[in-house]
């Protein structure tokens, strides 16, 4: 009973942290127009979209670089302490992201540009400083991402991990939606300041949590050994991990890039309301469809695994293949009907969240689980959403076109980046993700059994 109480407390705290993790990520997406206006007003319109996309790349680049480092550190210091330091650091870094906008507005009327203080103010209120702070946010989140699921794996048995991972990662659609909505309501740059107090509080609570024993839920716990880099070869020789990483990379590439641009796409490119309105509607759709799909995916994977040992892969793969043509239709169906297709597309996309992360836990030896998540994070972000936002932006810039809009009763010709072209180019990754996951299904049972007897 005591262990169960500890497990519930850990799940609750990690769920709350994950929620604020994704709120912070998607605040940026909901404030792109404000960032463009304040920090890129003097830049050429030919590369603005690519620069805005690079802000997501900055975060993901540091996230994927530092995740493996923290994955190794967690065998040397308490995992809860490492998570606590990371949460506090990223919360403060997020506040600094907002500071760039505040100082940029102050600099508009400043007369101290030639003085040392003016030089500092000019840097803090610049695009470069914002990019730096997004890198800092990535460092903080890297101390959390590969470690949190391993704590849950030491508190919950294998047969329930699909559902537990779905509950934990249910914070993704809810946090993303709140980030969209809150970013739109609070606006740039104020939205970034509001995540500081709750983030620091959650970080402090981590230091009060008891550290679970590694491998506590395994049927035959084995004596631990010192982890070495070469042990990663065990993971990279596991077919289920390879197919899972390939599927997650393709999925992350598509979802990361499209989600980053979507409020801007709806409001500016498709001219359907304001960025704030688009963020709020998108947020509501993601909360409902994403949370429902995440929980359904975990339940379905656990349930059907009684009848097919590769069910975790099958549920994930089928969802993506069904969602692929639905998303393509979104680009050509007029609003408000497009919102219905967006809902269906989101549902299909989030079905895999719990099952794919449970696969990583179940096919990795207990002591290698942090490394498995660290390697996965590094690969899926390096080849996924670290590059897809600016690839979409770059494609949009290169396929730009002119259109006439009415401003104050006057027809004005504007140059528009073609985001439809960017979205079509990356959407094929939806289908590839589904194919990779279906191919992994036949290996899951064997790889799960091997993980339970690997001497680590």
Average pLDDT over residues 244-252: 94
Cα–Cα distance between 116 and 59 in angstroms, integer? Answer: 29
Q: Quickly tell me which residue has 């002119």 as its tokens.
A: 402
CB 93 within 8 A of CB 395: no
Q: How many domains does the chain have?
A: 1
- Give the domain extent around 73: 2-453
Q: Identify the pLDDT of residue 1.
A: 35
Average pLDDT, the chain: 83
For residue 87, pLDDT beyond 70: yes
Least confident of 69-73, 86-90, 208-212, 376-380: 69-73
Question: 352: burial class by Cβ within 10 Å (0-12, 13-18, 19+)?
Answer: buried
Q: Which residue has the higher pLDDT, 319 or 384?
A: 319
CA 320-295-371 angle, to 5 degrees, is 75
Q: Identify the pLDDT of residue 227.
A: 57
Provide the pLDDT confidence category of residue 167 given band limits of 50, 70 and 90: confident
Of 8, 378, 403, 14, give the one whose Cα is nearest residue 170: 14
CB 91 within 8 A of CB 203: yes
Q: Identify the pLDDT of residue 311.
A: 93
In this structure, the strands spanning 401-407 and 410-416 are: antiparallel
For residue 217, pLDDT beyond 80: no
What is this structure's pTM? 0.74
Q: Which residue has the higher pLDDT, 237 or 221?
A: 237
Average pLDDT over residues 116-143: 86
Q: Which of 111-125, 220-234, 283-297, 423-437 has the highest mean pLDDT?
A: 423-437
Of 377, 387, 384, give the one whose Cα is nearest residue 64: 377
Provide the pLDDT confidence category of residue 12 given band limits of 50, 70 and 90: very high
The domain spanning residue 15 has which CATH number? 1.20.1250.20
């Amino acid at each position: 009973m005591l262990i169960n109480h500890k497990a519930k407390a850990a799940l609750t705290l990690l769920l709350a942290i994950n929620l604020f993790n994704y709120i912070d990520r998607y605040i940026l997406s909901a404030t792109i127009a404000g960032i463009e206006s304040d920090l890129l007003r003097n830049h050429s319109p030919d590369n603005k979209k690519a620069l805005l996309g690079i802000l997501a790349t900055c975060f993901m680049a540091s996230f994927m670089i530092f995740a493996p480092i923290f994955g190794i550190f967690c065998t040397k210091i308490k995992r809860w302490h490492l998570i606590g330091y990371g949460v506090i650091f990223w919360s403060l870094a997020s506040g600094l992201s907002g500071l760039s906008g505040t100082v940029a507005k102050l600099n508009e009327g400043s007369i101290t540009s030639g003085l040392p203080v003016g030089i500092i103010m000019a840097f803090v209120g610049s695009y470069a400083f914002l990019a730096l702070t997004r890198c800092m946010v990535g460092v903080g989140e890297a101390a959390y991402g590969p470690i949190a699921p391993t704590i849950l794996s030491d508190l919950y048995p294998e047969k329930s991990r699909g559902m537990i991972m779905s509950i934990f990662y249910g914070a993704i659609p809810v946090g993303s939606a709140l980030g969209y909505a809150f970013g739109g309501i609070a606006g740039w740059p104020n939205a970034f300041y509001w995540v500081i107090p709750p983030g620091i509080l959650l970080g402090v609570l981590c230091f009060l949590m008891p550290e679970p024993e590694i491998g506590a839920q395994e049927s035959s716990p084995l004596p631990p050994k010192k982890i070495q880099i070469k042990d990663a070869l065990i993971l990279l020789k596991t077919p289920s991990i390879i197919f899972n990483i390939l599927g997650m990379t393709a999925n992350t590439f598509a979802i990361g890039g499209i989600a980053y641009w979507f409020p801007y796409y709806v409001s500016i490119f498709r001219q359907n309301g304001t960025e704030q309105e688009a963020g709020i509607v998108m947020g509501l759709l993601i909360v409902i469809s994403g949370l429902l799909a995440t929980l359904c995916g975990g339940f379905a994977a656990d349930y059907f695994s009684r009848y097919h040992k590769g069910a975790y892969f099958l549920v994930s793969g089928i969802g993506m293949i069904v969602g692929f043509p639905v998303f393509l239709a979104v680009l050509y169906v007029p609003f408000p009907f497009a919102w219905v297709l967006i809902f269906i597309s989101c549902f299909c996309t989030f079905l895999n969240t719990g099952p794919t992360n449970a696969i990583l836990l179940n096919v990795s030896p207990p002591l290698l689980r942090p490394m498995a998540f660290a390697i996965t994070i590094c690969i899926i972000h390096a080849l996924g959403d670290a590059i897809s936002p600016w690839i979409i932006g770059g494609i949009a810039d290169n396929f730009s076109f002119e259109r006439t809009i009415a401003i104050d009763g006057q027809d004005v010709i504007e140059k528009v980046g073609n985001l439809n072209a960017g979205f079509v180019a990356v959407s094929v990754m939806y289908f590839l993700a589904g194919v990779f996951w279906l191919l992994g299904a036949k290996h899951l049972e064997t790889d799960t059994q091997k993980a339970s007897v690997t001497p680590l």
